[in-house]
Chain A
Amino acid sequence: MKFLFYLALVVLLVPLQTTLLPHLSVWNIKPDLGLVAAALVGLFAGELEGLLVGLAIGWILSLFSAGELWLSLLVNGGVGLLTGFLGRQVSQVTAISLGAGVLLVSLASGLLAAMTFKGFDTSQMWWMVESIVFPQACFDGVMGAAFYWILSRRFDRTRLRTE
């Protein structure tokens, strides 16, 4: 059952991210729902499932992006693993703390991606950080916090982990 849920999540994320979200973008910036999904799976279902689902999301989404595969794999897999640990080690996970965590990971991955761009000078790099990386990180953080808040009211994290 869980496997089917994860399969549907990964497959449906692609049309959501590539076809529907561009209509809902703010100033041409859309949130990275793959990152948010990997973070939530890690938090609710543990580090192993977070890692595997994150890797699957990273791989599938990279097939539909011009970006580097390794970055997508590491960021999404890494965030699933990290939130899995976070859920176990931190005494109280709140929507704000998760949102802040997602914001930082998104910011770090955006900076890493900007640094891999060929022939970028300082002004172009700054433009990219200012107009794409930072707004997207904020957007991702808000989405992460909002989804966590909704899910935490509906589901019990402990029950999902031990199911």
Chain B
Amino acid sequence: MWMAHSSSPYGARRIALACFALLLVALFIFPSQIQGLLQYLGGPVGYVVSVPLEAVASIDSSIADRWAQYVALQGVREENQQLRKENEWLRGQHSQLRESAAATERLTALLNFKEQALPTMIAAQVIGRDATNRYRAIILNKGESDGVKPDMGVVTPAGVVGRVVKTTGASSVVLLVTDPNNAIAALIQRTRDEGIVEGAQRGLAKLKYIPLLSTLRDGDRVVTSGLIGDFPRGLMIGAITRIDKEEGALFQSAELMPEVDVGRVEEVLVIQTSYGQSAKTGVGADPPEKSVP
């Protein structure tokens, strides 16, 4: 606890007030230009900040690995048995799917479908979470210099994670599928009804604008429709856990359990070019690190 003093010159106070007033006026008159300029200047600054950020993330990840490998091994035996059972079931599913794939291949050849280009993807590591609590976002260790741009889709082999909203030179921010500010065009795999997936409370997602006549039910799988944004068609988003049908409403909505546990995701793939876009957008872009069918 101290007594106040007034030793500092009045000039500093005036300058501070003038700077703040100027900033307020500039943000009010030219909001997008100022934000665009600061975002542009943030590109090179991102390189500087990414050095300690990646160092801390790497230490953090190695500590987490050691914890997972040596300390948190309680209950591994039970988990192992459960996984063995799951593995057996998946083997059965795999053989069935191989049969289906072979049949699809034959039918595709029969129908003489045009061969589609595979999407090109950039592998990236999660090095942090959003700096605030208000957004559900993750930070990746790949940025503009690696070819990552805003609005690119981000996935794991299990399904959709989110989309890139900001980039600096060496990092990018991905808004997760569970954030209420995110919107992804989707369809119900079984009924083929389309809707929009938005984030919801408690880390879930919501499928909105489903036609009233849709015969959706609990457990139905929801995938990307590929109509809007940079996601190709057919990527898994989640499964329906609850249906909301209000009387007099024009549409139904449903609660989704996301397929990817976005709270624990560590490595992701950024979709650089979607199906059939490789030839168009691939020119001039940096060579992709990984190509995933």
Contacts and interface: CB of A to CB of B under 8 A. Distances in A.
A20 interface: yes
Contact of A120 (B6, B179, B180): B180
B95 interface: no
A14 B20 contact: no
Contact of B56 (A19, A32, A118, A124): A19
A67 B134 contact: yes
A19 B126 CA distance: 10
Contact of A87 (B4, B16, B38, B175): B4
A61 B13 contact: no
Q: What is the interface of chain A mostly: helix, strand, loop, or mixed?
A: helix
Contacts of B69: none
B165 interface: yes
A133 B133 CA distance: 8
Contacts of B20: 51, 77-78, 81
Contacts of B17: 47, 81
Interface in B18-40: 19-20, 23-24, 27, 31, 34-35, 38-39
Interface of B: 1-8, 12-13, 15-17, 19-20, 23-24, 27, 31, 34-35, 38-39, 42, 45-46, 48-49, 52-53, 55-57, 60, 127-135, 137, 139, 165-166, 168, 171, 173, 175, 179-181, 198, 201
Given A66-B130, A74-B24, 14 more contacts: A15-B128, A47-B13, A48-B13, A48-B19, A51-B16, A62-B131, A63-B173, A66-B166, A66-B173, A84-B13, A92-B3, A127-B201, A133-B134, A152-B1
Interface of A: 11-12, 14-20, 22-23, 28-30, 32, 34, 46-48, 50-52, 55, 59-67, 69-70, 73-74, 77-78, 81, 84-85, 87-94, 110, 113-114, 117-120, 124, 127-128, 131-133, 136, 152, 156-158, 161-162
